[in-house]
Each structure stands twice: as C-alpha cells, then as structure tokens.
Structure 1
Amino acid sequence: MIIGAGPTGLTAADACVADGASVAIVERTAHVGGLARSASVAGNEIDLGGHRLLSSTPKQRRAWLDFADRLGGVPMSDIGRRSGILRDRYVVAYPFDTRQFRASVPWPVRARGAASLAAWKLRAPTGREDHNLDEWVKNRYGPFLAETFMAPHARKVFGVDPRDIPAGWAAQRILSPGLGSVLATALPNPGRTPRPADVVDRFFYPQGGVGVLWSGLAKLLGNQVNWLFGSRVTSIAKPAGGRIAVTVAGPAGDTTVSCNRVISTGRPEDLAMSLGLDELGVAIAQRSGRRDLVVGVVHVRECPDSWYGYQWLYTHDTGIRAHRFNNYGEWQSLHCPLGVIGLEYTVPTGETLDVAVTALKDMSILLPGGAVDFLGSERATDAYSNFDASADQLGLLDEALRGFGEGVVSTGRQGAGIYINLDQAMRLGERVAALSPRHSGVVGRDEYSPYQEKAS
C-alpha cells in the first residue's frame, strides 16, 4: 500500500509494479500529482506553485527526457529561469543581479542599501556567524535590503519570523554576492532601460504544465494499481503473520486492506495517529505549522512593461496579501495568454480565504486603475511547512516505526519532512520501493541536499 499519489508515491508504485507486486494507492483528493499537480481555471492551464524540472547537469536532462519519452513523448521546453521582486512598481531581479538592480531601482533605495551594508560590516570587522535566515541575509546584503526584499517573503510564505528559519535554508536558495558588488549598486544609474536579469539557470518544462507527467504516469499504471481516491488511512495494525491490516475510510465507508508493506508519502502526523501514536502526531502537527497554497487567477488586460520577461514576481508592498504571482503568459509551455496571473496566498491549513475579494484588492494596489478580471482559484493543501522545526519529532517517529514492526516507511517531501526537488522526489520513490520488505522508519532525511536553485 502506498499513501499519497504525488511524484514520490507514483514513482514508488511504478517501481513496485515493475517488480511484480500488487499495489494499492490511497489518495485523499481526487487528483494525482500531489503538490506538483496542474489545474485548469477558466480554460487556462496553470501550475500550483513555481515547479520546474531542474536540468543543470547532463544526468538530470537525460533522466527527464527519457521519462517524457516513456510517457509517449511529452513535449519538453528548455526555459531560462527569470524571477523578480516587485516593490513600489519597480522590479528587482531574484537571484540578485547587480546591473539590473542599478538600472531598475531608485537611487535613494540603492544608496540606503549600500550604506546599511557598509555600517553592518564596520560594526563587526571580523565577521558574524550565520545562525538563521535573518543573520545570513544581513551579513551579505545588510539590514536594509534584508528587511526590504528578503524577510517579508519568509513571513508571508512560512508564517514565521526569519530568525526561526535556519541559515542552511538561505545558503541553498539565495545567491551570496561579493561585498563590492552590493556596495557598487549605489553608483549612478548606468542609464540603460530596466530589463530582466540574465538567466541564472535553465530548466525543462513540459507542454501543458508539470502535472501532465504525473497524470501520464498514472495512465501508464492504469489497472495495474488499485486506486483509492477520496480516501484516507485511519488505522494500521501491527504485522501479524507477515501481513499488515490497514483500515481505509473512503466514499463507500471503511475497508480493511491486507498488505505486506506500507509506504506513506503523506503527512507524518497522520501516519503517527493511524499507528495510535496520538501525542506524537499532535506534536508533529504543532511544530510543522502547515500552510495551504491558494492561487487566485486573474486576467490583467494591460500588464506594465516591467512585468514582461518574468515568470515569477514576489510581491511585498504594504497592504498586499499575496506573496508572489506566477506570470503564466511568460511560461511558454502553458496555454495561457499574456496577462493571466496567478496570485499565490498561504494560509494555515484548512483556513478559509475569500480569494476573489483578496485578489482584486491586491491587484488594485499593484495596478491602480487597471482593468482586472477574476477567473477562479485552486488550492494545494499542506504546500508549505517549517520542516526544520519538526526534525526532532520526525526522529521520534523514525524510532516509533522501527519499534512498531516491519514494513512501514514514511518518506517523500511530507513524510520525511524535507524540501525536495522533483527529480529527487522520484529517485526517493525508486529507493523506497527497492528497500527490504522488513525495513521500517523515516526514509529520505539525507535527501536534504543543496536545493540547486543555482546551477551546480
């Protein structure tokens, strides 16, 4: 039995079927793809979040192209990544680009940023240690730029203070510029027209959105798998005679399924509670601070010139609740016209949000007087979590699973509590499928490797 039909779960199922096993997949929604699924809103294909297929190495490129061929020849585009931070109607390239920053940002902002960094360095000439995200960014960009461009994103997305996020998170995701390059931004504007920054890395992107990969894999598996959609596991009994009894609550009521292995890629607190470890489940849930991603899709009849060329724009202006928007018309591989925007909101899991009212209010700030139409919304449950905060509890879950009995594994982004790329997620699915049936525990904590936002 596999819990969760996301990339890790589907890949594990694929490997198990290839090995001759019979497989059941329990999926609480009606969709495959998990957090990496696509959706259609008012006839526009969208992805929930900023997914992409990292392809900075020949091995990554070959793996994605082979996978696309196996699914029947899914067309793949080779796209250069461009993202930025939208502040007061100007755009700052992200990752940081000195030339674009000087060309786009008003001189008073650049001067304050350089002065802030210089003063920060002078007060600690021998340097400071990086204990958390807040310190890591300040030590490289200075307090002013950190609070203006970096910290608001952490507060909006994760709902926690940057001081509560480890420095390792920043080191894997944010470029570390030289001191001189940041100070040089205070020099006079070079006089060029603001433009998107140079491409930092390239990635593959399937025509129709990243979700076509998972729907294609599910179609390939077909009736080789017992699909249990709209269902959830409520209890897992200790192995008896080499078999595990799993109770599944679904549309037709409760069903007991007998299996010799359970691979859970869902929330670890749900797995803990299904094993009767209620206190541990509550502790994991509290520490994780899970948040849903809600995407409000609008159509802007006339986009500002500064928005063109960027696939993502982070939005931190006062009064704007969205933390970022996907500029779907710039994605090339989605069937969306220019001007179709997906505003992204994070809310505590299960909390309601009037998406239409909120999105239109945000657009009135981002684009005063602009003509904007609300098209609809989609929601991805548990898209964000403070995984690092729950690391100790996941260690306890690992011990509990090993003591529970053979054959119960927790893995994947949710199950192992890791930030993970899609190629890593698939490799993890293959890895757990190949484990001994007797293996129990949390698998994949060691997959917390460099995020590769920067080409390696």
Structure 2
Amino acid sequence: MQHYPTVVIGGGPAGLTAAYQLSKQNHKSVVLEKGDRVGGISRTETYKGYRFDIGGHRFFTKVKEVEQLWHEVLTDDFINVPRMSRIYYDGKFFSYPLEPFDALTKLGLIDSMMIMLSYMKIKMRPLPEEDNLEQWVTNRFGERLYQTFFKTYTEKVWGMSCTKIQADWAAQRIKGLSLKKAVLNALFKVNNTKTLIKEFEYPRLGPGMMWERFQEKLDDRGSPVHLKTNVIGIEREGKRIKSITAIKDEQLVKFSGDNFVSSMPVSLLLNRLNPAPPEHVLEAARGLKYRDFLIVSLVVNKEHLFPDNWIYIHSPEFKVGRIQNFKNWSPEMVPDASKTCLGMEYFCSEGDNLWEMSNEDLIALASREVVGLGLVDNTDLIEDGTVIRQYKAYPVYDGEYRRHLQVIEDYLETFENLQTTGRNGMHRYNNQDHSMLTGMLAAKNILGEDHDLWNVNVERSYHEEFTKERFEKQQQQQQQNDDTPKPVSIKA
C-alpha cells in the first residue's frame, strides 16, 4: 500500500488544482484518474494530429485567483480569441449575442413585434413562480422569445421538457442576462454579463494543454498523476476515509492517506464506500441523473468554412445540438492549414438510439447534417472522422435533484477527511473556473483553513468578491516574504 498525505480522485480541473495548490506548500499528494489523459470533460482529444475539445471551453473568469493560476501554469501559451457564435433557427443563422437589426431582418417585422409585445406583457405581469426553466426564462425574455429560441435547444440538450428542468440551472448558467441587457449590449456596447463576452483567452493547443502542464508540474514535484487508474473501493472507518482501492494495468493497487479529495461523480463515490452508506443516502444517489454527450469530429478538405467558434442548432429537424469549428478557436488545433476540423456535438443518454449508433453511422449522420445546414458544400469534402463518447457530462437539474443532493451533502459533511469538488463531485453545473475554485478551497481546508465548498457558484458574486479580496491579501504577503506565502486564514 502506498501512503500519501492527500489522495485525489479525479484528474480534471478541480482535482488537479487541489493537488497543485498543495504541492506549492510542499504537501505531497497522488492523483488517480480513470481516463487515459487528464482534464476530464475539459480535456483535449487528438486524432491524427487534429486536436479537439469535448465541447468548447472558453478561458474567461471573474475569479482573480483562478485567472492568476491559469497564467502561472501556462505562462505565455495563451492566445486571445474573438468570440463569434450564431444560432441556427428556421433555416436562418442569427447572430448571438442578439443584434437587433439582424434579428429584425431575419425574423420579420410581425414576429419581431410579437416578441416585443410578449416581453412587455411579462414585464407588466410576471409569472408569480419561477420553479422551472420555462418560468425563469419567460419572466426574463417573454413567452414568444422563449418559444422561439430557448425551448427547442434546451430540450434537445437535456432530453426533457423545460417544465421539468429546475430554474437553478438557468440561474446558474445565464444569471444576470435579460432581453433588456442583451439589447443594450448590442446598441450601446454595454456588457456586464459573462454570457455576452466578446473575447476570451484560450490555450494555443486547446484546454488540455493547461491540464497536461498541471500534470507535468505535479509529477516533477513528487505528487504523481496515475492515468488509467479506476477507483473501485473506498474504505472507511466510521467518518474517516482510510484507503482507496483501484485497478491499474489490470492489477489491484491501494493508496492510504490522511486527507481525500474526490471529483468523481458523487453518486458513484457513495456506491464505492465500504462499509456502504445508509440506505436513504444510496437511494438519494440513485435519484441523481446525468446527461451524456458525444462528439463527432469531422475533417473537411476545405481551408475555410465559416467564421464562428461555435453554432447552436435550435431547429429540431437536426439532431446535432452544437457545432464547433476548432480552427477558429486556435489555428494550431488543425495540423493541415488547408483543412478544417468540425466538432458535431450530440446530447444523448447512455442506451438511447444516438448513443448506441455505431461510429460509422454517427459519422455518416454528422456528415449529412452539416451539409444539410449549408455549412459544407457536399459530403465528398468530408474525408475523415472520429467519435468520442463522454459519460456523465452534465448533471441534470430535474424536479427531484435538489432533495436528493441535500441528503447527500448532509451525509458527506459528516466525514472528517473527505471533500468533494468539481462538476460531478458536487452534481453542480460548474464552469471550469468554479470547479477550479472548489479545488483551491479544498486544498486550503487541508492546510488549515475553513471554507464551505458547497457555496461555490451558489452565490457567484459573493465568491468572486471573496476570492478577489483573498487574492489581493495573498499577493501583498508574497511581496513581503521571499518564500512562497503560507495560506491566509480567512473563513468564507
């Protein structure tokens, strides 16, 4: 059995950040990652030299501590990328964010007037409740715009009615955005929302470049990252985790530790515990749902196709939900400048028709759809393709998730040396910056501070100001001392 002061389950943004922050304080750890590369859903896959994301990952954050860490690790390997995205709806491409003249022209005068009347109506008589996504969006955009642009795409992503998706998801993902703000931004360049940013940073070889650099630094500091290491057992005594059992290279390996950080799906974590949790906790774990995802990466024998970073496909006659143009994220993602690499993203669930299709059939489907959308002239230009399936890509915010998650949170908080982090570790739809923040705070807790990870991204503005304040204090301390600063003891 190998012993480390801290054992980290999961080599995504949250787990790697926790381990890296600990290493800066000479605190050793080991990271156990099931996949063949680090990064989790933020990794960069490769195929014949082509690099592509599992979904696009912008590097933009208001959390200064996270921004500083990005540049500390990746140094000068960032590029600045102008954001351009559009919505495909009813046979037309609409600029996104909204540009009033563009929308007016393409929707037509009557539809545009109906949208504005619907918006004014909801402002005068808002819905009294905002329990689900349909109610939340309608109160901010009006019923007509919700039906036009939000409903079909959202239901394609989640595979369920918007009335069954909790408002928490919208509040977390598009907080602060309204039709009024969108129009003000378009007319007067007023922009106070993350959703409407015009430019973002991006690693020149894709987001996986960031996490691969984390891995290199951890290995150099004696905190190894083990890939293809599948955790199958988590042994506990009472409320303390004692060791981890995993399979690596077809052999059982065990790791003991003083502290444990997990970003594996929380439902899976609970099922790996030995002795098992109480039945009501396992029942709550079974109640959590996930949405899976697959990407069909197509190599197109054409130098330029369209200028967008990505396009949202709202029309229900196409199964594809979003299309990435990786060359427009970074030219270095495509090894042959005369070609283009597209990522056709399909939202699905394990076992459904899309998920069960063969790779050959998926490539054929994606090829037909990209031609049908008018983005590629004909299928003869598509010379190659590959498929990547991603399990448990998105935690589902259905009507029961909050109740189940509260049971799980209450149970996990009784453990003395276990913290859960990241999107799946907390069943919360975090962006990578907030996942990294949970990893940072987990490391600080191990080093003696006291932070509530479950509040991260619940009250976003609070945490942004909190981390900005702590970051500035840490920077002042660093200037006063020659050595790496010790953690500042401030409670969240």
TM-score, scaled to structure 1: 0.82
Compared CA separation, residues 287 and 261, structure 1 to 2 (3 A): same
Compared CA separation, residues 92 and 331, structure 1 to 2 (3 A): same
Give the equivalent residue in structure 2 for 1:193: none
SS in 2 for 1:419: coil
- The whole-number CA distance in structure 2 between the counterparts of 1:240 and 1:121 is 58
Query: Shift of residue 266 of structure 1?
Result: 0.8
SS in 2 for 1:266: coil
Out of 325, 342, 356, which is 1:352 matched to? 356
Out of 2, 6, 23, which is 2:12 matched to? 6
The within-5 A match list for 1:40-439 is 40-55=46-61, 62-69=68-75, 73=76, 75-103=77-105, 105-107=106-108, 110-118=109-117, 121-122=120-121, 125-129=124-128, 130-171=130-171, 172-173=173-174, 175-178=177-180, 200-222=197-219, 224-239=222-237, 244-275=242-273, 276-277=276-277, 279=279, 283-284=283-284, 286-301=286-301, 308-336=306-334, 337=337, 339-349=340-350, 351-354=355-358, 355-367=362-374, 370-371=378-379, 372-373=381-382, 374-387=384-397, 389-403=400-414, 405-436=415-446
SS in 1 for 2:200: strand
- The whole-number CA distance in structure 1 between the counterparts of 2:28 and 2:245 is 18
- The whole-number CA distance in structure 1 between the counterparts of 2:373 and 2:442 is 46
CA contact (8 A) 1:131 1:167 kept: yes
- The whole-number CA distance in structure 2 between the counterparts of 1:234 and 1:417 is 20
Pick which of 386-395 and 320-329 moved more. Answer: 386-395
CA contact (8 A) 2:299 2:341 kept: yes
Compared CA separation, residues 297 and 423, structure 1 to 2 (3 A): same
- The whole-number CA distance in structure 2 between the counterparts of 1:314 and 1:88 is 12
CA contact (8 A) 1:50 1:326 kept: yes
CA contact (8 A) 2:98 2:182 kept: no
- The whole-number CA distance in structure 1 between the counterparts of 2:45 and 2:234 is 33
Amino acid at match of 1:219: E
Query: Shift of residue 62 of structure 1?
Result: 4.3
Query: Shift of residue 173 of structure 1?
Result: 1.5
Amino acid at match of 1:414: N
Query: Shift of residue 439 of structure 1?
Result: 10
Q: Which 5+ residue runs of structure 1 have no aligned equivalent?
A: 186-197
Query: Shift of residue 101 of structure 1?
Result: 1.6
Compared CA separation, residues 384 and 123, structure 1 to 2 (3 A): closer
Query: Shift of residue 16 of structure 1?
Result: 2.4
Pick which of 168-177 and 358-367 moved more. Answer: 168-177
Compared CA separation, residues 20 and 180, structure 1 to 2 (3 A): closer
Query: Shift of residue 239 of structure 1?
Result: 3.7
Count of matched residue positions in the alignment of Structure 1 and Structure 2 = 429
SS in 1 for 2:236: coil
**Per-residue deviation, residues 168-194 of structure 1 (Å, max 9, x unmatched):** 433442731239969x99xxxxxxxxx
Query: Shift of residue 416 of structure 1?
Result: 1.4
- The whole-number CA distance in structure 2 between the counterparts of 1:241 and 1:381 is 30
Query: Shift of residue 56 of structure 1?
Result: 5.8
- The whole-number CA distance in structure 2 between the counterparts of 1:390 and 1:424 is 20
**Per-residue deviation, residues 337-373 of structure 1 (Å, max 9, x unmatched):** 5642110012214643332132123224223862341
Query: Shift of residue 438 of structure 1?
Result: 9.6
Compared CA separation, residues 163 and 286, structure 1 to 2 (3 A): farther
TM-score, scaled to structure 2: 0.77
CA contact (8 A) 2:118 2:144 kept: no
CA contact (8 A) 2:66 2:436 kept: no
Compared CA separation, residues 142 and 179, structure 1 to 2 (3 A): farther
CA contact (8 A) 2:169 2:429 kept: no
Give the equivalent residue in structure 2 for 1:23: 29
CA contact (8 A) 1:399 1:441 kept: no
Pick which of 336-345 and 436-445 moved more. Answer: 436-445
CA contact (8 A) 1:82 1:200 kept: no
Compared CA separation, residues 311 and 236, structure 1 to 2 (3 A): same
- The whole-number CA distance in structure 2 between the counterparts of 1:215 and 1:445 is 28
- The whole-number CA distance in structure 2 between the counterparts of 1:438 and 1:62 is 22
Compared CA separation, residues 149 and 278, structure 1 to 2 (3 A): farther
Amino acid at match of 2:365: T
- The whole-number CA distance in structure 1 between the counterparts of 2:416 and 2:343 is 44
SS in 1 for 2:268: helix
Amino acid at match of 2:85: S
CA contact (8 A) 1:406 1:438 kept: no
Q: Which 5+ residue runs of structure 2 have no aligned equivalent?
A: 1-6, 188-194, 463-492
Query: Shift of residue 89 of structure 1?
Result: 3.8
Query: Shift of residue 269 of structure 1?
Result: 0.8
Pick which of 24-33 and 366-375 moved more. Answer: 366-375
- The whole-number CA distance in structure 2 between the counterparts of 1:328 and 1:314 is 15
Amino acid at match of 1:137: V
Give the equivalent residue in structure 2 for 1:39: 45
Amino acid at match of 2:10: G
